[in-house]
Structure 1
Amino acid sequence: MKNNFKRFDTQNYEFNTQSKYGVYIIHGFSSSTYETKQLAEFLGNQGFHTITKNLPGHGVSARECNNVKYSDWLYSVKQDVAKLVSESKKTYIIGCSMGGSIALYISSLFPINGCIVGGTVLKFKNPFTINVTNRLFCKIIKLKKKSDINKNQTIKFYGYTEYPLIALNEFRKMNLKIIKKLVKIKCPMLIIHSNSDRLSLIENLNMIYNKIDSEIKEKFFVDKAHHNLFDSNPDQKNIFNKILSFIKEN
């Protein structure tokens, strides 16, 4: 199991800074830029100014993540995207898992030219645990080893070796806010889902597709990718090429 916890990166990344076409990429909950760096580099090589940064409390420790409010995540991304929009002719935002949720929120606020989300988690796979048990007890039991929760040894873990449970409750509260914002999204939208994703329910894809007010919206399915869609996986090439095609069309 020890090797499963090496997918972690403390660094922020920015590529092709001279381009006037900006792409901001957001990683998932308790993860890091490890899962988004390859996509940022790929799109940077295709002529886009790409940025991917560790969210507040991420890229450090699970205990530090527990000290952060969801408003800190949203504020940090809003500040970065506002700057990128002011510098760019066109701006796109991409997110995976919780990063997808944040990307949706940002798309409801800014004049974004396109939003791409994958493995988005607005509704949780284990709702009673997240909405009731963890909400009540997260300040007593603050951390939980990922290996204790995920007994399947084939699952690849990203980021911390433990789930920061107070931060998980912040994720839950943030989603309640973001779901209400979906109707305000009008930009072109690409929603990616893997049939092998064990964390993001297809209900999330359908809810996003049905609630947003975008004239241009598309579902894209793959079969073999794991939850961290933008990191190395059997469908990565197809996913990257689809993202590139969508951005060029919009």
Structure 2
Amino acid sequence: MIGCLLIHGYTGGPYEIEPLAEYLDEHTDWHIELPTLAGHGTKLQLENTTFKDWITSAEDTLKKLTLKYNKIYVIGFSMGGMIAAYLTAKYNVDKLVLLATAGKYLDFKQIRADLHDVIKDSFKGELDNNKLYLHYKNKLGQVPIKANFEFMKLINYTRPYLKEVEAPVLIAHGQLDGMVPYKTAYYLDKEIIHSEHKELVLLDRSKHLLCLGDDKDTINAMVHNFLEKTGPAEKPVHV
């Protein structure tokens, strides 16, 4: 039997990758777990949490899965990707999927482009149709400065473990990602030196929220296919 753990991103919640979790649940007989990291979710309470609390939230779930299932797959989105890589290096994880993983910080050029779109939609009275605005508007004022420092601590803490990942890994990133530069995918590919199989996919139309964007169906099928069967290593692919 297979247990599959999905880990959401910083200041997010299970909803960020829920479409993928639902797809895998519908198309497999795997046991799917999608925990909420400490202080995260639809109502953020990050004031008294640390990066180690966030890691522990995912790690505790993984430990339970390892007791029940003989194969473990881990999928991480954004900051959750770094947690996923850390857990894969530390435990006997069979396959790893990294989605828009925050191995590096912000892409300011793309952020400016995204803000331009938000402003343009504001003047046109179409903010309710701007996915980026709708996703982040409720977070304004809910994220303390301390939490941002904890986020950076988490990235710095987990980075060294990339070199210890040996499981097959799929790295997927949107080329229009305004939160994490898409070139981070190449960085991850370079740092994960001991994996027995790596695939790198760049999605030309996708921004940061891969599982909620226009390419979500492509991503669902791609992740499912990778986890179901792993063949020879492939060159980077543009979708």
Same fold by TM-score greater than 0.5: yes
The answer on whether the counterparts of 1:31 and 1:160 sit within 8 Å (CA) in structure 2 is no
Aligned partner letter, 2:225: S
Aligned to 2:3: 22
2:55 is matched with 74
Instruction: Confirm or deny that 1:56 pairs with 2:29.
Output: no
Structure 2 SS opposite 1:65? coil
Corresponding residue to 1:244 among 219, 224, 231: 224
Residue 161 of structure 1 pairs with residue 143 of structure 2? no
Equivalent residues of 1:24, 1:92 under 8 A apart = yes
Alignment partner of 1:224: what SS?
A: coil
State how 1:1-250 maps to structure 2 within 5 Å.
20-47=1-28, 48-59=30-41, 61-62=43-44, 64-125=45-106, 152-153=117-118, 154=130, 155-156=132-133, 157-158=135-136, 160-162=139-141, 163-212=143-192, 213-231=194-212, 233-250=213-230
Q: Secondary structure at the match of 1:221?
A: strand
SS in 2 for 1:92: strand
**Cα offset, 1:150, TM superposition:** 5.1
Counterparts in 2 of 1:37 and 1:223: CA distance versus 1, 3 Å: same
Shift of 1:95: 1.0
Per-residue deviation, 1:174: 1.0
Whether contact under 8 Å (1:225, 1:234) holds in the other structure is yes
Residue deviations 1:203-222 (CA, integer Å, cap 9, x gap): 32112111111020110121
Ranges of 4+ aligned residues in structure 1 off by more than 4 Å: 149-152
Query: Is the contact made by 1:30 and 1:164 (CA closer than 8 Å) also made in structure 2?
Result: no
CA-CA distance at 1:60 after TM superposition:
5.6
User: In proportion to residue count, which structure has more helix?
Assistant: 2
The amino acid across from 2:38 in the alignment is: P
**Other-structure match for 1:142:** none
**What 5-or-longer segments of structure 1 have no aligned partner?**
1-19, 128-148
Runs of 5+ consecutive residues of structure 2 not aligned to the other structure: 109-113, 119-129, 231-239
Between the two proteins, the alignment pairs up a number of residues equal to 208
Cα displacement (A) at 1:197: 1.0
| Counterpart Cα distance in 1 of 2:116 and 2:185 | 26
The answer (yes or no) to whether the contact 2:95–2:169 under 8 Å persists in 1 is yes
SS where residue 103 of structure 2 aligns? coil
Distance in 2, matches of 1:224 and 1:203, equals 15
Tell me what 2:233 maps to. Answer: none
Deviations 1:180-238 (CA, angstroms, capped at 9, x unpaired): 1111110000000111211111332112111111020110121222211112x221111
Q: Tell whether the 8 Å contact from 1:123 to 1:203 is kept in structure 2 after alignment.
A: no
Identity of aligned residues (%): 27
Calculate the TM-score normalised by the size of structure 1: 0.78
Does structure 1 retain, via aligned residues, the 8 Å contact 2:107–2:180?
Answer: no
**Amino acid of the residue matched to residue 228 of structure 2?**
K
Pair 202,60 (structure 1): closer, same or farther in 2 beyond 3 Å: closer
Contact 2:12/2:42, CA 8 A, preserved across alignment: no
